[in-house]
Structure formats: C-alpha cells, structure tokens
Amino acid sequence: MASEAPAEAIEIRLRDLRPGPPVSFIARVVQVERREITRKSDGQRRPILSGLVSDGTGTVRFTWWDPPAEEIDRGSVLRIVRAEVREYLGRAEVAFTYKTRVAPAAEAELPRLNWEEMPVRTIRDLVPPDEGFRLDARVVRVSARSVAVGAERRSLFEGLLADGSGVIGFTSWRDFSLREGEAVRIGGGYLHVYRRRPQLVLDDRSMVTRLPEAVLPPLAKLWSPSRQSLARWEAEGGGEAVELAGRVVGILPPSGLFYRCPQCRRRIQQGICVNHGPVTGQPDLAARLVLDDGTGAATVNLDRPATESVSGLTLEACLERLRSAPDPSGIEELLWERLIGTSWTVRGSAYVDDFGLSVRPETIEPTPGTEAPDADRLRRRLA
C-alpha cells in the first residue's frame, strides 16, 4: 500500500497561529539567542536557536533545532515552510525541525496591514509583546537623537503619547514628522519592555496618519505630570511622566568633566574607546545627583545643559580650570560645594533597576520655598 503524501503546510499570519498541522509564514526575527543543550539520550551537546519572530500581526516564540552555523541577525526577514506548532503555557509557539525549510525573504514580502484589520486599543490595554493594533493618541512630546547602530549612526525619534487612558513612551526608527500636541492614528507598531516598562516601537512598516482635532480632547485634558513621593514612584516602577522633588544629598561618579568618543559618543578612559580604540576624546560635562525627600532617594542623571544650569559651571570654565589645576576630580568637588543641600523639582521619565529609582529629567528647577541656610547646614554636616 502506497504511503500517503504529507499534507501541504498552511500559509498563515502569526495572529492566527494555532496548534495543529505544519504551517508556513514570513516573519522578521526580533530576538534571537544561540545556545547548547545536553541531550538526555546520549549526553551530547546539541545547538539550538531560540527567540521571537513577528509579522506585524503577532509575535511568537520559536525554537530552531540544529540550526546552521552562520549567524541569524536580529531584523532578518525569513520565509519559514513546514514549521511545527505547539502550545506552551497557553500560547502557541513554533519549532523548526529537520522538515522545516528556512530561507531569506525580502522586506516587501512581509504581509501588509490596513487600518480595518487592526483591532483598536487604548494605552491602558497595551501589554508586551502586543502588536498589530491601532492606537489613537496625542503626541505629548517628541525629540530626535543620533544613536550608534553597528558601524553607522542613525536618527532615533522618541517621546510620549497620551490618550486619556494612560501615557506610554515611544521610539521610532522612521521620521513621521510628529509634532507636539497633534492627534495621530498609529498602526503597525509593537510593544517591548525597556527598563522594565512597556514602550511602543515604530519602524519602517508602521503607519501614522493625522486625525481631525475634534477626535481627541485637548492635550491638557489627556495628560499632566503627576507628583508623588520618591517611595511611591519606586514602588510603581517609575513612569513616563513623573514629577518629584527632593534635596541633593549626594553626587555619584562619574560626575564632572569627562571625554566621549567622537564616533560612538561613549565615555572613554585614558583616550581609549571600547569600540574604536585610541581616539581623541571630545569633552563633556554631566552630574548624577542623589535626591532625597524623606521617603526615599532617586538618582537624577543630568546632561551638559542641565548640569551647567543647576551648577552655574560651564564646560569652557571647567576646561580653563584644568589648564591651571590639571585634576578632573576638582570639578566634581566644585559640583559638590554648589549643589549639596539644594532642593530641586524634577519632571521627566523614571525607571527602577537594581540600583533603585533613576530619573531622566526634562526640566529641573529650584523648589520654591527652600531656604539657603538649610543647604549650608547640610553641607557642614556632610563635610
């Protein structure tokens, strides 16, 4: 009796993935890790790749048994034929076995989404690794910065979105010409966790369209910074739009004058960049302040403009000082003398890591009603 031919793999979108017969799909690698496991049968080491793949409609975990030796880069688009579908902890996963065929695919082959296909979500509804949704929100703020991606530098746009149900941070690898306060409809983004908080990521496949002003309430009704104690912010894991106040009780290293690599902007040590070797560093100024409000403490990381603003020191003045007193630690001492005991109100984003609550400020201003003699007494006590 002739053997039955294997059934043809069904081509699907990842949002429709269910345990059952083998499937085919095209997806992008969004996370990948190579490791080895020990087989119970013979104790031999067996290589596997594991991670996440996404097609814009869903994200699933994959396991690739006995993968090829060449690396599979994050961001690669792959065509997968005859992947096995399994269920783990209530979620569908895929496995690439000896029957699975994996080949590179073009970016244009990824399925395109349209607005009607995407379910409507609010910011409160979003949970990583959600994607393939539609979101209507106002832009609270947006700014651009240059980041190193491998050997090249790219522009990254980041900011905040609000819709009345909540606030979420976003990053975009494409310039959608977003402006503060405008109402937008966003599709094709995906959620990931950054510093233990969900963040919306937009890329070249994402879609953004402007909405009529009447669709959403004014920005002032959708969002305003909330002020809480440091202990409360730490218990909540930080937030995208925090307001807090406290007194400077410490200055952490590295603070003061330092040098950056002119290519990747990393801090360098003794003229050596970990990425580019010996370089001629570019001077910069920063401060890491420890604020205390009586309930807890937070580290506030100030860039050069903020450091110059709160301390009254300028980068040029610090460089001039080094010419007569070539000891960079003197700059940190100056920061200590000028800032210990002073009180500040900070607005920005905050996160919690193994070192506690850290704040990336947007604004930092003297706290009204604080008296200079308090700062003098604290400086004398700490000295």
Q: Are residues 329 and 349 in the same domain?
A: yes
Write out the H or E segment, with its range, that includes residue 220. Answer: helix 219-222
pLDDT in tens, 138-174: 999 999 988 766 667 788 999 999 999 989 999 998 9
Q: Which of 107, 135, 152 is the last residue of a domain?
A: 107
Q: What is the pLDDT of residue 194?
A: 80
Please state the rounded mean pLDDT for residues 77-92: 90
**Is residue 1, in this structure, part of any structural domain at all?**
no
Q: Are residues 335 and 242 in the same domain?
A: yes
Q: Are residues 230 and 183 in the same domain?
A: no
Q: Are residues 240 and 103 in the same domain?
A: no
Handedness of CA 338, 343, 346, 351 (dihedral sign): positive
Q: Are residues 168 and 202 in the same domain?
A: yes
DSSP letter, residue 107: G
- The percent of residues in the chain predicted with pLDDT above 70, rounded, is 93
For the cut 80, the answer to whether the pLDDT of residue 33 exceeds it is yes
For the cut 80, the answer to whether the pLDDT of residue 134 exceeds it is yes
Q: What's the one-letter identity of residue 286?
A: A
- Count other Cβ atoms within 10 Å, centred on residue 271: 12
**Is residue 2, in this structure, part of any structural domain at all?**
no
For the cut 50, the answer to whether the pLDDT of residue 2 exceeds it is no
Kindly state the tokens that stand for 210.
Answer: 């402007």
Please state the rounded mean pLDDT for residues 244-254: 93
Band of the pLDDT at 243, cuts 50, 70, 90? very high
**Is residue 3, in this structure, part of any structural domain at all?**
no
Q: Poorest-confidence range of 12-26, 33-47, 205-219?
A: 33-47
- The residue with greater pLDDT, 205 or 281, is 281
| CATH number of the domain enclosing 323 | 2.40.50.140
pLDDT in tens, 341-383: 999 999 988 999 888 999 999 899 999 876 555 556 655 665 5
How many domains are there within the chain? 3
- The residue with greater pLDDT, 90 or 312, is 312
The whole domain housing 242 covers: 226-382
- Alpha carbon dihedral 157, 28, 133, 215, in 10-degree steps, equals 30
Band of the pLDDT at 83, cuts 50, 70, 90? very high
**Is residue 313, in this structure, part of any structural domain at all?**
yes
Contact 186, 138 (CB under 8 A): no
Residues near 35 by beta carbon (within 8 Å), at least 6 away in sequence = 47, 48, 50
- The residue with greater pLDDT, 307 or 253, is 307
Q: Are residues 240 and 142 in the same domain?
A: no
Q: Are residues 142 and 84 in the same domain?
A: no
Pairing of strands 226-227, 238-260: parallel
Residues in the chain: 383
Distances (CA, A) of 71 to 36, 49, 74: 15, 10, 9
Q: Are residues 218 and 353 in the same domain?
A: no
- Alpha carbon dihedral 143, 149, 154, 160, in 10-degree steps, equals -20
- The percent of residues in the chain predicted with pLDDT above 90, rounded, is 47
Q: What is the pLDDT of residue 379?
A: 58
Task: Return d(Cα 150, Cα 222) in angstroms, integer.
Answer: 38
**Is residue 325, in this structure, part of any structural domain at all?**
yes
**β partners of residue 27:** 78
Q: What is the pLDDT of residue 255?
A: 92
The predicted model scores a pTM of 0.65
pLDDT in tens, 42-65: 777 888 999 888 887 788 899 998
Contact 75, 110 (CB under 8 A): no
Averaged pLDDT of the chain: 87
For the cut 90, the answer to whether the pLDDT of residue 36 exceeds it is no
Q: Which of 77, 107, 137 is the last residue of a domain?
A: 107
Please state the rounded mean pLDDT for residues 68-78: 85
Q: Are residues 186 and 249 in the same domain?
A: no
**Is residue 129, in this structure, part of any structural domain at all?**
yes
Q: Are residues 67 and 154 in the same domain?
A: no
Q: Are residues 235 and 310 in the same domain?
A: yes
283 three-state secondary structure: strand
Gyration radius of the chain's alpha carbons: 26
Q: Which of 107, 139, 169 is the last residue of a domain?
A: 107
pLDDT in tens, 256-312: 999 999 888 888 988 899 888 899 999 999 999 999 999 999 999 999 999 999 999
Q: Are residues 63 and 124 in the same domain?
A: no
**β partners of residue 93:** 86
**Is residue 4, in this structure, part of any structural domain at all?**
no
Contact 216, 138 (CB under 8 A): yes
Q: What is the pLDDT of residue 274?
A: 85
Residues near 360 by beta carbon (within 8 Å), at least 6 away in sequence = 301, 348, 349, 350
**Is residue 352, in this structure, part of any structural domain at all?**
yes
